């Protein structure tokens, strides 16, 4: 068992999360018999930039019709987007049971349960056979994973011969100290920020080569500044990432923004493919 599992589950746990989302939708006047991905978009993707950035990654990597695994899938928004807009057959895995339950119920709510499946499990011990997926995908997950080598080796193991790994993550710069809370941790106990070169060196060892990558820091700063400037006007009953981050949402986003602006951390997306 991953010894961090209880702490990570605890950190992300929100009691009756699905019910909470439904209640907020009701308050917003959404017809519960006719809910679309658009209605839940503000809470659906738990990373800087939401669905827009997920679409950008999927387009760059050209992953139409792929069998795809999303590691650390959260409440499932990226899988639903990839299923609906890129015809991917998606499986999401997450260490939070509450998120997995919520992800499956949300897919049913918006009619995407046939193309998305969410299961409980650990990134460093994936319950899949070798060569199962065309694409493995992670967004804002690595920061919670201490064993980077096992993380990379598991990704390589479940990818098929032509497969690719797509990521969008927060990395440290020279292990500089950041302020907490952050969106993925209240303190350092479950936060394992690393330089992107660490991931690169493991993948190289396992035969995966880094292709196109994008520094997303500047656009991330703009997105965070915009959301923070709007935040005071938002009512707490509204559906947003506040539902997942709780009462310290503003502090978490501010610390993330400051870390990016001060150059202590950076946002990067990219793709790895097998060596020819
Ligand atoms: C910041 S959220 C991002 C969720 C999702 N990737 C998204 O972008 O919407 C990080 C997620 O990683 C999950 N996670 C953390 N460590 C994990 C592990 N070892 N195995 C599987 N999931 C993990 C958490 O439970 C949480 O749902």
pLDDT in tens, 2-32: 777 889 999 999 999 999 999 999 999 999 9
Chain centroid to CA 47: how far?
6
Instruction: Identify the pLDDT of residue 82.
Output: 98
CATH number of 5-274: 3.40.50.150
- Cβ neighbours of residue 117 under 8 Å, at least 6 residues apart? 90, 91, 92, 104
pLDDT bucket at 236, cuts 50 / 70 / 90: low
User: What's residue 276's pLDDT?
Assistant: 75
pLDDT at 235: 55
Is the model's pLDDT at 71 over the cut of 80?
yes
Residue whose C-alpha is closest to residue 4's, from 198, 191, 196: 191
Pocket test for ligand 1, best of 14, 80, 94 (most atoms within 8 A of CB): 94
For ligand 1, atom 23, the nearest C-alpha belongs to 72
CA 236 / ligand 1 centre spacing (Å): 24
Cβ–Cβ under 8 Å, residues 85 and 55: yes
Q: Residue 3: its pLDDT value, please?
A: 79
Residue 234 or 139, more confident: 139
Residue pLDDT, tens place only, 76-106: 999 999 999 999 999 999 999 999 999 999 9
Please determine, for residue 65, whether its predicted confidence score (pLDDT) is greater than 70.
Answer: yes
C-alpha 69/C-alpha 56 separation (Å) is: 17
Helical spans, DSSP H, in 28-96: 37-44, 50-61, 77-86
Q: Return the closest-CA partner of residue 52 out of 247, 259, 242, 219.
A: 219
Average pLDDT, the chain: 95
Which 3 state secondary structure label does DSSP give 164? strand
């Amino acid at each position: 068992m991953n010894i961090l599992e209880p702490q990570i589950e605890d950190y992300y746990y929100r009691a009756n999360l699905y019910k909470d989302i439904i209640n907020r939708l009701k308050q917003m006047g959404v017809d519960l018999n006719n809910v679309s991905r658009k209605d839940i978009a503000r809470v659906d993707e738990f990373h800087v930039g939401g669905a827009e950035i997920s679409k950008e990654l999927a387009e760059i990597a050209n992953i139409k019709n792929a069998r795809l695994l999303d590691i650390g899938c959260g409440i499932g928004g990226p899988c639903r987007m990839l299923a609906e807009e890129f015809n991917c057959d998606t499986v999401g895995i997450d260490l939070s049971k509450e998120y997995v339950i919520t992800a499956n119920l949300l897919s049913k709510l918006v009619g995407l349960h046939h193309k998305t499946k969410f299961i409980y499990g650990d990134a460093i011990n994936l319950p899949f056979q070798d060569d199962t997926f065309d694409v493995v995908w992670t967004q804002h997950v690595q920061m919670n994973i201490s064993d980077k080598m096992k993380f990379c080796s598991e990704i390589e193991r479940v990818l098929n011969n032509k497969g690719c790994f797509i990521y969008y993550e927060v990395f440290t710069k020279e292990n500089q100290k950041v302020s907490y809370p952050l969106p993925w941790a209240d303190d350092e106990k479950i936060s394992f920020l690393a330089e992107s070169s660490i991931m690169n060196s493991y993948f190289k060892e396992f035969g995966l080569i880094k292709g196109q990558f994008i520094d997303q820091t500047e656009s991330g700063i703009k997105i965070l500044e915009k959301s923070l400037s709007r935040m005071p006007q938002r009512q707490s009953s509204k559906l947003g990432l506040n539902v997942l981050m709780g009462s310290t949402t503003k502090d978490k986003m501010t610390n993330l923004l400051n870390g990016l602006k001060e150059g202590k951390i950076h946002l990067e997306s990219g793709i790895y493919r097998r060596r020819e």
